[in-house]
Amino acid sequence: MSIVEVGSDYTKKLALYSIGGNALSDPSKPKNEQNNHALKLVLEDVIDLLEAGFNVVLTHGNGPQVGDLLALEEKGLDSKRVRTELSTWVAATQGMIGHELSMELDSLLRIKSRPERTAVVLTRVLVDEDDFAFVKPTKPVGPIIDEKSKLSDDLKVSKTEKGLRRVVASPHPIEVLDLELISKLVELDAVVICGGGGGIPIAINGVWKGVPSVIDKDRFSALLSISLDADVFITSTAVDQIETGFGTKESKKISEIKLNELKILYDNDEFPEGSMGPKVEAMMSVVEKSEKTRVVLCSPGNALRTLRGESGTNIIKG
């Protein structure tokens, strides 16, 4: 049986594909061969999904890019300049990365003689200004910082497993404010690129305003998948399967796992906060809150194989 059944009452299914950071190059730096290869595989996944009868919505991160822009601004900052709002940098990186993805994908769609075209949506997301994340910022952004570097007093840093990095608040996303627009574009068969970097954090108190923070991309992607009632939620990342005991002799890859079993592993700190943890948390929330959504993790280039059960990790209810 094919993944998508075609009949007289056929309607397209929807796949939300969350792109891992390994597939994206930094717009401010030269592309490298590794990024190019990963991005090529992601685009092949998109074409495969379209040819299998899916509409596709793409989400992506922006942590390295927004952090680099902050660092560049800081180097040129003087007493006469006002610091750019962090939410504005999130919007800027959404535009830069969305443009890059759109150009690459529209070129491939034309080569493949596909009728679809891309649509890039600068996506705004409602957050709570009283979220505890603003009390204790934990989200790393940007490159490793030399401990001798002079930093602005209003920038917070924290030691991570890779070194000293800037950290910013990462509030939970409450509502995708541009959901209706995204949904309409899907109906028009556009490949929608949205929610870059988790979306632009917005608070509404009579008026809309940007909030200085960065929303976790995986949490946003899960919320969007649930809100759109997607048929498939795909997390694409550098590893081909969820793995227990990662980096040890007892490591074990998982091809299929029940939600309650995955919860136990998550609660036992099996998945680090700085790597697989947010992805696992996001995937579990989709399984919990959606009755129909198929939830999988795979490496770029293996989306269809994973949906067939030949690769990746499938998370099921139970």
pLDDT per residue of the chain (318 residues) written in tens, 0 to 9: 344 443 334 578 999 999 987 667 554 455 555 568 889 999 999 999 999 999 999 999 886 777 777 777 766 655 556 678 889 999 999 999 999 999 999 999 999 999 999 999 999 999 999 999 999 888 877 767 766 564 555 567 776 666 777 888 999 999 999 999 999 999 999 999 999 999 999 999 999 999 999 999 999 999 999 999 999 999 999 989 999 988 788 889 999 999 999 999 999 999 988 779 999 999 999 999 999 999 999 999 999 999 999 999 999 997
The pLDDT assigned to 5 comes to 44
Q: So what's the pLDDT on residue 183?
A: 97
Number of other residues whose CB lies within 10 A of the CB of residue 102: 17
In 3D space, the residue among 98, 127, 99, 26 whose CA is nearest the CA of residue 67 turns out to be 26
User: Please, are residues 171 and 210 in contact by the beta-carbon 8 Å criterion?
Assistant: no
267 neighbors 204 (Cβ within 8 angstroms) = no
- The tally of CA atoms less than 13 A away on the side-chain side of residue 115 is 4
Non-local CB neighbours of 270 within 8 Å, separated by 6+ positions = 244, 245
Q: Are strands 118-121 and 191-194 parallel, antiparallel or unpaired?
A: parallel
Kindly give the interhelix angle for 86-111 and 63-76, rounded to the nearest 10 degrees.
Answer: 130
> For residue 26, which phi and psi values (nearest 5 degrees)?
-80, 120
Cβ within 8 Å of residue 184, ≥6 positions away: none
pLDDT of residue 246: 82
pLDDT of residue 32: 56
Query: φ, ψ for residue 231 (rounded to 5)?
Result: -80, -30
Which residue type, as a one-letter code, is found at position 212? P
Quick check: 210 and 201 in contact, CB under 8 A?
yes
Residue 221 CA to chain centroid, in angstroms?
A: 6
Give the phi and the psi of residue 126 in degrees, each rounded to 5: -75, 130
Model pTM? 0.89
CA dist 112 and 97 (Å) reads 22
DSSP 222: H
* pLDDT the model gives residue 302: 96
240: DSSP letter: S
- Residue 166: the pLDDT is 80
Q: Residues 6 or more apart from 155 whose CB is under 8 A from it? A: 70, 74, 166
CB atoms within 10 A of CB 25: 18
DSSP-derived letter for residue 160 is E
Residue type for position 11: T
Query: Per CATH, the architecture of 13-124+177-316 is what?
Result: 3-Layer(aba) Sandwich (3.40)
Give the whole-angstrom CA distance, residue 213 versus residue 258: 34
Is residue 124 within a helix (H) or strand (E), and if so which, with residue range?
strand 124-126
| Spatial separation of the C-alpha atoms in residues 300 and 23, rounded to whole Å | 8
* Cβ contacts of 316 within 8 Å, gap of 6 or more: 256, 257, 258, 259, 287
Give the pLDDT score at 156.
77
